[in-house]
Structure formats: C-alpha cells, structure tokens
Structure 1
Amino acid sequence: MPNENAGSLRVFDETIDYEVRRSEDATQPRIDVDIHGVAVVLPAESDIDPQELVEDNARWILKQWRQYQDHREQAPSRRFEPGETFLYRGDDRQIEVKDVDKSHVEPETFALAADAVEEEGIQDTLESLYRRKARLVFKSRIDHYADEMSVEPGKLELRNQRTRWASCSPQRTLSFNWRLVMAPDDVIDYVVVHELAHLREKNHTRRFWNLVQKHDPKYEEHVDWLTENSVQLIFTEDDL
C-alpha cells in the first residue's frame, strides 16, 4: 500500500501540490479541488497509486485549480471597524456600535453593544453575534426539514472548518460552519437538507441525490453558488 501523504503534479507550466488522505468512509477514490488546494481521497485499504490518479486527471485538476486561484484573489479584505460591511443571510450589513443592552441584527446593520465592544473588541463581538444567530437559524431549518424528511438528527454543533460547510457524524451529530449563516437562505437550506439526507443515505449514491432533490429541487444551483461564492463567506484571512 502506498505510504505517500503528499505529492506534486506538473501540468504545462504549473506545479500543483496535493495531499493524500485515506478515509474509512470512502468507497471509491476521488480528487477534491477547492480553494485550499488539491486532495486525493482514497479508501483506507486502497492500493491505488495517487500519483497515477492525478496524472490521469491532470487537465481537469489544472482547470479546477486555476479557477480556485482566481477565487482566492477575489477574497475580500476584512476590516473590523464601524461602517465595514459583512454578509448575513445573503445581504450586506454595516457594523454599528450602539448603546444597546445586547448585540443584534437589524435590517441593514449589525448593532453591536458598545459595552461588549469595549470589553472584547469589534471582531470578537461580531463573531459572537454571528454564532448566536447561526445556531438559531440552523436549528430552525433542521427542525423544519427533519420533520419533512422523517429523520431524527442528534445534537447541533457549530464549527469553523476551513474545508467544509457541514458534516454528519455516525452519532447523528450535525456540525455546521457558523460562517454559512452569511449565505442566502436557500443555500443554507440546501446544506441542511444535504446533511439530513446522510441520516438516510450515508454515501453520495443516486438515492442520496434523489432525496436531496426531492426536498431542494434547485440544489444544483445552490451547489454552484457555494462553489462560486464561498470565498465571500470568510470572516478573516485565516478562513482561506
């Protein structure tokens, strides 16, 4: 079995580094390309040579890799100060610091409590508000679709993973990246439906995607939106 955990691919005038991951959940080898780089995912006991796999798919990898390099260059530069705008449920809102008892979201602004900003700073206060609102939004949509899909999810966790928006554990725990609350509601709903579908179908089989489509007929548009706009859903440069 190959022991490599990284490698590089030369395509025309580009050298593309990749990492190799082995997964107990993977049933087929695959190549993941996103804004963070290239990963070859292999079933745990696979004897496939990852270098041969990337060389066989070199042109496709190069096309995807260049696309994400362009996305990276479009990443917004975030400033944590009054007047700066951040996305919330698909719309821009400006940061305002106000004499209010509790930070909250208004139709056009993030109203941050002055006392909290003085103690924690704008960045931490805004992140706390995002996380609080994200939990409420995700819980509401999970409850809605779990009933519609006749599934019983476990607990809800919020994370800030760089490489994925959500996951479903064998214990039925649903984990969501809190930054997803920056996306439009229909995109949030797609990710919720996707993870709940895993409670019925573990792998991305045809039955899985049929189930997703049943509850989100436009899911392909929402997948495309995430692919094209995920770079806009960053909080700091560390999220790239």
Structure 2
Amino acid sequence: MRKYTITRSNRKTIAIKINADSSLEVKAPVNLSKNKIDEFVNSKEKWIAKHSERISNNYFLKKQFELNFGDFILVRGQNNQIKPVDGKRAIYNKDKKIFFIPETDKQNQIKEILIELYKKIAHNHINKRVNYFKNKMDVKPIKIGITSAKTRWGSCSGKNSVNFSWKLIMADDKTIDYVIIHELAHIKQHNHSKKFWNIVESIMPDYPEQKKKLKILGEKLNKENWE
C-alpha cells in the first residue's frame, strides 16, 4: 500500500494529487472512511505508478536546471543566447537575439535577471497583440496583465480582465496569438462551448495546431525550473 496524506473537506468526490516530489495526497469528503480511501488508492495503482514516474523525472530535471552564459533560451519561438556584459545593466538585444547580463557567478541571479527581462518583453509584445485582436474581435478587456502564473498560459476574469503568463513569450508568434484570441473570446463566451470555439476558429482556423505546439512547450517547461 502506498503512503499518502489525506486532506478532508466538504467535497463530494475523492481525488488523488501527485505532488512535484512524487508524494501522494488524497482529497476526500469529511466522512469517507479510511478503508474506502485505501480501496480507491489501490484501484488507481497503475495510474499512480505511470504519473509518479513522469513527475519524478520532471522533478529531478528541475533540480538540475541551470542557466549559464552561452546557453540559449526561447523568445517568440526562436533561440536567443545569454552573454556576459560589463557594467550593471542587463539588456535584451532583439535584433542580435542576445540577452546581455552583467557578469556574475551566481546562477540564480542570472535567472532572476532573465525573468525580469522576459516580463518586459512579454508586456510589450502581448499588449500590442491584444490591442490588435481586441479591435478585430470587437471586444474590450478592462485590463491586460502579465503574471507569473504556474499552471495557466492565460485567463479571463468574470469582469473581462485578461492575464497572460510571462512564459507565453517563449512560444512562437502564432501560438502566442492563439492564447490571446482564446482569452479574448472568453469575453463573449465565458465557457468552452461550441459557440466559444467557433469564435476562436473564425479568427484562427488552425488553432488546433497551436494547441499542440503549446502542449509541447508546456512539457518542455515542466522540466525546467523558472520559479
């Protein structure tokens, strides 16, 4: 029997969560017996084994993740190199596709500087594309935000505020556009109904291809530690 922790609440169903370090958490209704939970966990053994291995591998890769001078990282789907520069100011050269980072031997510092530059790049590019598509789609988001969301590329609130993860800027231009179109479409349809997907398709007929590319990028980032 696998070891697990139990989190009880007023929920009606039981669910299993595999944490980043492969530890197991069971979310269960308040009154569900321990025996019933054991039975449920045992019935999901194959599923747990399969996903635990993947999550464990990703966890190991995240622990090994480093950023060094000379490495290449993605901006709008293209490789850009990290290079040292004299002085204290970090600069992104869009034309040369180079991140110039002040010389340091601290890898965490390199990452922190890169993330701040990424946020600025994402803010500039995504805001321009949102403004383009909001006119094309005849929608009016009340706010455009760039966030550090860990599990979402984008979101649209009930009040029609749209937000995008800065990591989205690593995707290629068309995939970035897809996520923007997706969130702006939610201003008209706050769901994933057929009407919603019809709106997305009317603007980007090949959106399923962009979803596939987004999934591939997500799998790549799951093996990297950008937190």
TM-score over 0.5 for the pair: yes
Question: Which piece of structure 1 moves more, 86-95 or 186-195?
Answer: 86-95
Match of 1:72 in 2: 58
Q: Deviations over 1:148-204 (max 9, x none)?
A: 101011212121222111101122211111011011111100000000000111111
Is the Cα contact below 8 Å between 1:80 and 1:122 reproduced in 2? yes
Is the Cα contact below 8 Å between 2:139 and 2:184 reproduced in 1? yes
Match of 1:140 in 2: 128
Are 1:202 and 2:190 counterparts? yes
Match of 2:148 in 1: 160
Larger Rg: 2
Question: Could you tell me how far 1:205 is from its partner in structure 2?
Answer: 0.8
Give, in whole Å, the separation in 2 of the partners of 1:234 and 1:8: 20
Match of 2:98 in 1: 109
Match of 1:187 in 2: 175
Secondary structure in structure 1 of the residue aligned to 2:74: strand
Give, in whole Å, the separation in 1 of the partners of 2:139 and 2:119: 25
Amino acid at match of 1:7: A
Name the CA shift for 1:75/1:134 in 2 (closer, same or farther; >3 Å).
Answer: farther
- 2:83 corresponds to which of 96, 114, 129: 96
Are 1:85 and 2:72 counterparts? yes
Are 1:224 and 2:226 counterparts? no
Amino acid at match of 2:133: Y
Amino acid at match of 1:211: I
Name the CA shift for 1:157/1:235 in 2 (closer, same or farther; >3 Å).
Answer: farther
Give, in whole Å, the separation in 2 of the partners of 1:71 and 1:214: 39
Is the Cα contact below 8 Å between 2:71 and 2:81 reproduced in 1? yes
Q: Deviations over 1:88-126 (max 9, x none)?
A: 1112222112247551134332122x28999x9322211
Match of 2:10 in 1: 3
Please state which structure has a larger fraction of its residues in helix: 2
Give, in whole Å, the separation in 2 of the partners of 1:19 and 1:184: 37
Give, in whole Å, the separation in 1 of the partners of 2:56 and 2:110: 30
Is the Cα contact below 8 Å between 2:158 and 2:190 reproduced in 1? no
- Calculate the aligned-residue CA RMSD, in Å: 3.8
Structure 2: gaps spanning 5 or more residues: 1-8, 18-22, 29-36
How many residues matched?
Answer: 197
Structure 1: gaps spanning 5 or more residues: 10-14, 21-50
Match of 1:122 in 2: 110
Match of 2:33 in 1: none
Give, in whole Å, the separation in 2 of the partners of 1:65 and 1:103: 40
Is the Cα contact below 8 Å between 2:153 and 2:164 reproduced in 1? yes
Question: Could you tell me how far 1:81 is from its partner in structure 2?
Answer: 2.1
Is the Cα contact below 8 Å between 1:166 and 1:175 reproduced in 2? yes
What's the TM-score, normalizing by structure 1?
0.67
